[in-house]
Chains A and B, each alone.
Chain A
Amino acid sequence: MGEPDTAEPNGARRVASEARDRVRFEEEALALADQVYRVARRFVSTREEAEDLVQDTYARAFRSWQSYTPGTNLRAWLLRILTNLNVDRGRRLQRRPDETPLEENDYYLANKVAEAGGEQVLDQDRVVERLSQDSIVNALSEVPHDFRDVVVLVDIGDFSYADAAQILDIPMGTVMSRLHRGRRLLKARLADEAVP
């Protein structure tokens, strides 16, 4: 990087330098495996499916490493491969998912909790912990996948709206509307659990 490209390196040196680049790519990709798995795990229903999906993703990434542009977001690049593989596995892509208005608003869950326990209960740090881990995982899995994918990328994968748009190959505005709806659906399901 940054060296003047004056002399054509001889064949052996070029091969050695390419091998070093590839090794570096592989190391960097492997360092992200745990974060890639976390997203994959919530895209699919079982641990086995997630493991398969991550393995297929890395197999493809290692084969096509030269199409990655160094300096760009490698985690987003890996997730783009993973998303495509997940679609290839037969998951139906919904171009027009259900967009009918929801009655629940963004404060729905907070309002339910406040109605049941009083406004002050919202100030308690531990109020969300009345939701069990299972209930969050189950509620998330019940959100239709078009909405869930965006929620998983942004809320669990910590991706920006722009990265999520690139990974899922949808416009930013669609990311925002699906995120909005996905979170509302999630909170409506959690409300049933937290405040029966």
Chain B
Amino acid sequence: MSDGDCGKCEQLLQGYLDRELSEREVVEAEEHLDGCDYCRRRYRFEESLRVYVRTTAAERMPPGLMAKLAQLRTNDPGAAPL
């Protein structure tokens, strides 16, 4: 396994995690990950970092906002509820 392959894997990894690679690139990334502990550890790390950032940075809507948004609906007394 050459360093050049790890460099290429690093380049592909973000797109791989984003599911935005072409089929050919996916095969290339997976073949390298299958045989390289160094990159596979970093792949797992990046993957759990993504999940962690998503869950910690996602803040739920404050209570009360939904009611305010619902009040913005067009008030048409003639409109039949669905």
Contact = CB atoms under 8 A, between A and B. Distances in A.
A122 B42 contact: yes
B70 to A, nearest CB: 6
A54 B62 CA distance: 11
A128 B42 CA distance: 12
Contacts of A24: 82
Contacts of A186: 53
B65 A128 contact: no
Given A110-B45, A113-B45, A160-B20, A54 B69 contact: yes
Given A123-B41, A128-B45, A136-B53, A33 B10 contact: no
A150 to B, nearest CB: 11
Interface size range of chain A in the complex: 35 or more
Nearest to B38: A119
Given A122-B45, A183-B14, A37 B65 contact: yes
27 contacts: A19-B80, A23-B79, A26-B74, A33-B61, A33-B65, A34-B60, A47-B59, A51-B62, A58-B72, A59-B72, A106-B46, A109-B49, A110-B45, A114-B41, A119-B41, A122-B42, A122-B45, A123-B41, A127-B45, A127-B48, A133-B56, A136-B56, A137-B56, A156-B57, A156-B58, A179-B14, A183-B14
Given A122-B41, A140-B57, A33 B82 contact: no
Contacts of B20: 160-161
